[in-house]
Amino acid sequence: MIGQELIQKLESIHNQTDSWIIKSPGRINIIGEHTDYNYGFCLPAAIELAVFMGLSPSNKFQINAWDRKESWNIVDTIRPDWAVYFKAILNYALKENLPVKTFSLDFTASLPSGAGLSSSSSITCGFLYALNLMNSWNIPLEQLTSIAVTAEKESGVEGGMMDQISIFNGSKDHALLIDCLDWSFKKIPILLANYQWTIVDTKVKHKLIDSDYNNRSRLCKKIANKCANYFGIEENLRIVYEQYSKEEFGFLEAQEKNLLSYVIEENDRVKAMTKSILSQDISSIGSLLFSGHEGLRNKYQVSCPELDFLIDFAAKSSAAIGARMMGGGFGGSSLHLIKENCTEEFTQEISQAYRSKFGFAPDVYKADISNGVELINKK
C-alpha cells in the first residue's frame, strides 16, 4: 500500500513526456551469508519494500532525496552521502561514452536504509536500470548486474554480487539459489503454507564502508592465498572447500580456521536449506536458520548484541520456527520464520522485550517476496 502511495506521488510530478517511474526492491537472504565474495552459494529474494524513482527530462541534472530532504546537482562537489551511488553509475556512463539525457530525478523509499536490506544496491541498480531505459543503451540484465557490482565497489565496499543479482532478477514468491562462482541462479519457490518470513530491524545503523565487512573479505582472500600456496592450487576458496576437508587446515591460524570453517558450513547450509524448502521441512528450515546465526556470531563474528538478543528471543518463542541475522552484520536486520497465526503477537512481544533491553523499539516488517527491479510507468 505504502509503495502505491509513493508511486502516485512520483507520478503526479513526473507526468511529462519521457518520464519514467522505477521500482527497485530491497532483498532478504534466506541463508548463505558472506559466501558470495567467497565464490559459494546463497539464497536471497527480492522484497516488496523498495526504492522508488521518478525521472523526467530537465534542463539541469538534479537528484532529490525526498526522505532526507536533500538534493544534489551533479556539478556540486559537496555531495550528500547517498550521491556516491548515483555518481558511480554516471562515472561509468562517462567512461564508456554512453549518451545521458539531462534529467531531474526524485527518489523515496518504503525500504529502510542501513537496515541490512540492501538499500544502497537498490539505489545503484534502480538508477542504472532507469538510465539504461531512458537513454536506450539496451544493455542486457547480466551486464547491468556486473556494472552495478563494480560501481558499488568503487564506493568503498568490497562486497559480492548477491544483492545486485537478486535485485535485478528477483521473482515473486521465489528465492534465487545463486552460484557465486559463475553468477548463475535457479528460482526456488519460497512460500511456506502457514508461515511468514518476517524482518526485524534492530535500528542499529551500520555502514558497510565503516564496518569490519571489508576486513572479513580481505581475511578470506588471505586464507585463499595461503591455501593456494600450501596446496598448490588456484587462489579460490570454492576449490579449497570442495577439495579439502576441515582436518587439512592445520597450517592456518585460529581465526582463519574459524572463518574458513564457517564458510564451508554455510555453503552446506544453503544446499540443505534449498532441499528443506522444496520439501517444506519446516523444522529443518528452523534449525538451519539458528545454526547459521551461531556460525555468524561465533565463528565469523559479524553479529552484535542487538541481533543476538533478537535471535535468542526467537529461540525461546513458540511462535518462531527459526531466525538469523542477515546481510553484512554489525547491526541491520534479522530474518525470522514465524507461524502465520502468531505474527501479531510475536511482533508485539519481541518489540516490547527489545525496548526493555535497549530503550527503543525495533521495526518489524512482513517480508513479502517480490519481482526484481521494474518499470512501473512511462509517459
Q: Is 202 in the site for ligand GAF (CB under 6 A)?
A: no
Q: Is 37 in the site for ligand GAF (CB under 6 A)?
A: yes
Q: Specify which residues 103 forms β-bridges with.
A: 57
Closest C-alpha to 43, from 158, 142, 180: 180
133 neighbors 100 (Cβ within 8 angstroms): no
Residue 54 beta carbon to ligand GAF: minimum distance, rounded to whole angstroms:
26
112 neighbors 326 (Cβ within 8 angstroms): no
Residue from 33, 48, 266, 306 binding ligand GAF (CB under 6 A)? 33
Please identify the residue of the shown chain whose CB is closest to the bound ligand GAF: 159
Instruction: Pick between residue 34 and residue 336 the one whose CB is nearest to ligand GAF.
Output: 34
One-letter amino acid at 257 equals K
Instruction: Pick between residue 30 and residue 105 the one whose CB is nearest to ligand GAF.
Output: 30
User: Sign of torsion, CA 111 114 118 120?
Assistant: positive
Residue from 292, 328, 331, 362 binding ligand GAF (CB under 6 A)? 328
Q: Is 266 in the site for ligand GAF (CB under 6 A)?
A: no
Q: Which region among 31-39, 63-71, 350-358, 369-377 touches ligand GAF (by CB under 6 A)?
A: 31-39
Could you identify the residue written with the cell 541462479? 185
Count of residues making up the chain: 379
Instruction: Pick between residue 160 and residue 170 the one whose CB is nearest to ligand GAF.
Output: 160
The CA angle 19-82-28, to the nearest 5 degrees, is 85
CA distance 373 to 127: 10
Q: By CB under 6 A, how many residues form the interface with ligand GAF?
A: 11
CA distance 96 to 91: 9
Q: Is 303 in the site for ligand GAF (CB under 6 A)?
A: no
Residue 123 beta carbon to ligand GAF: minimum distance, rounded to whole angstroms:
13
Instruction: Pick between residue 118 and residue 145 the one whose CB is nearest to ligand GAF.
Output: 118
Q: Is 103 in the site for ligand GAF (CB under 6 A)?
A: no
Transcribe 138-187 into DSSP letters: ---HHHHHHHHHHHHHHTT----SHHHHHHHH-BTTEEEEEETTTTEEEE
Instruction: Pick between residue 110 and residue 124 the one whose CB is nearest to ligand GAF.
Output: 124
Q: What residues numbered 114-143 form the site for ligand GAF, per CB under 6 A?
A: 118
Contact map string, positions 139 to 168, toward ligand GAF, x by CB under 6 A: --------------------xx-xx-----
Residue 184 beta carbon to ligand GAF: minimum distance, rounded to whole angstroms:
17
Q: Where are the beta strands (DSSP E) in the chain?
A: 20-29, 41-42, 44-57, 62-65, 70-73, 103-109, 174-179, 184-189, 195-201, 320-325, 333-339, 363-366, 374-378
Instruction: Supply the residues annotated as catalytic.
Output: 163
Instruction: Pick between residue 54 and residue 159 the one whose CB is nearest to ligand GAF.
Output: 159
Residues near ligand GAF (CB under 6 A): 33-34, 36-37, 118, 159-160, 162-163, 327-328
